[in-house]
Structures are given as structure tokens and as C-alpha cells.
């Protein structure tokens, strides 16, 4: 059932390891390999979604586990210093995410969030992406 080639797999995993835009680039590579076409960073949409599928009216956000405060996550480590500062900042990031997602839904867009930590399980992620993009249902 593995639709992607070993070459794609290794390109995705190499992107995961690269810094900064790693997770986002990995998801883009995977989505493209699965045959879907998208636009990037439509800044006229709330939250500037990372991948936009205008024909399907769907968007994907690729969230870093730290900056987007993925609390129940092995990849999230609460900072040990300046705890209040970080708690405030990360909580605000998460609230902003929620506000943006709600605004998108109100505009009729379906929203999927992919967490950085999910990219390690490529087969599962691949299934999740296909389900989201092919169906009328929404996957959070
Ligand atoms: Zn995570």
C-alpha cells in the first residue's frame, strides 16, 4: 500500500532533518509525490496556511511542535528558564492558531493540522493526507 517511492521517502526524511522549514518542506514533498497540487502561503487567508488547495477548499498547516505548543508530544520540551515568558508566548501562539482555524472554517475552508512529530510515521501520514484531501469529511 506504500504509494511513494523509496526516493521520495528519502527526500522527505532528508527534509525533516533540515532546519527551519524542514517539516513544511517534507510535507510538501510528500503531498506532491502523492499527486496533489497546491499553492503556498496564501497570505489573504487567516493564518497564512502552509499548503492551500483552492479547488478542494482545503488547507494544511504544518506545525512545529515547540512553537505551536504540542503539549502531549515527545518532541515538546517546556523551557526550563524564563518559564512565564515562554508559557505566555506559546499559549498566545496556540490561541492564535485556534482563532485562525475558526476564521477559515467560517469562510468555508476545511482545515488539517500536521504536527512535526507525525512526519516520522510516513505511511500513516500519507493515509491521513489522502483521506483529508479526497473526502468531504474534516480531519483535525
Ligand atoms: Zn508533536
Helix 6-17 / helix 22-33 crossing angle, nearest 10 deg? 160
pLDDT at 73: 85
| Higher local confidence (pLDDT), 114 or 20 | 114
Q: How far is the CA of 74 from the centre of ligand 1 (A)?
A: 6
Euclidean distance between CA atoms 118 and 111, whole angstroms:
16
Rounded distance from Cα 80 to ligand 1 centre (Å) = 18
Q: What spacing in Å lies between the alpha carbon of 71 and ligand 1's midpoint?
A: 7
Ligand 1 center to residue 65 CA distance, Å? 4
Q: What mean pLDDT is reported for the chain?
A: 87
Residue 72 CA, ligand 1 centroid: distance in Å? 7
Q: Which residues of 22-43 are buried (b: 16+ CB within 10 A; e: fewer)?
A: bbbbbbbbbbebeebebeeebe
pLDDT at 38: 94
Write out the three cell numbers for 73: 508530544
Question: Distance, CA 117 to ligand 1 centroid (Å)?
Answer: 4
How far does the centroid of ligand 1 lie from the alpha carbon of residue 13, in Å? Answer: 16
Q: Residue 45 carries which DSSP code?
A: S
Q: Cα of 73 to ligand 1 centre, how many Å?
A: 4
Q: What is the pTM of this model?
A: 0.83
20-29, 75-84, 87-96: range with lowest mean pLDDT: 75-84
Check pLDDT > 50 for residue 1: no
Average pLDDT over residues 40-47: 88
> What does the alpha-carbon distance between residue 126 and residue 135 come to, in Å, rounded to a whole number?
14
pLDDT at 108 over 60: yes
Name the pLDDT band for 18 (thresholds 50, 70, 90).
low
- Please determine, for residue 82, whether its predicted confidence score (pLDDT) is greater than 70: yes
Mean pLDDT of 19-46: 87
Instruction: Give yes or no for residue 57 having a pLDDT over 90.
Output: yes
**Dihedral (CA of 91, 92, 95, 101) sign:** negative
Residue 35 has a pLDDT of 93
The alpha carbon of 104 and the centre of ligand 1 are apart by a number of angstroms equal to: 23
Q: How far apart are CA 93 and CA 107, in angstroms?
A: 21
| 46 pLDDT more than 90 | yes
Amino acid at each position: 500500500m506504500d504509494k511513494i517511492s523509496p526516493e521520495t521517502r528519502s527526500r522527505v526524511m532528508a527534509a525533516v532533518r533540515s532546519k527551519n522549514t524542514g517539516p513544511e518542506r517534507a510535507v510538501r514533498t510528500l503531498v506532491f509525490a502523492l499527486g496533489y497540487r497546491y499553492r503556498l502561503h496564501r497570505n489573504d487567508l487567516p493564518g497564512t496556511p502552509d499548503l492551500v488547495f483552492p479547488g478542494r477548499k482545503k488547507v494544511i498547516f504544518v506545525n512545529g511542535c515547540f512553537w505551536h505548543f504540542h503539549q502531549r508530544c515527545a518532541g515538546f520540551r517546556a523551557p526550563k528558564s524564563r518559564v512565564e515568558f515562554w508559557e505566555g508566548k506559546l499559549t498566545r501562539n496556540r490561541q492564535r492558531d485556534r482563532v485562525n482555524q475558526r476564521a477559515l472554517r467560517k469562510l468555508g475552508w476545511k482545515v488539517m493540522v500536521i504536527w512535526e512529530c507525525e512526519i516520522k510515521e510516513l505511511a500513516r501520514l500519507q493515509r491521513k493526507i489522502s483521506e483529508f484531501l479526497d473526502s468531504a469529511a474534516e480531519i483535525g
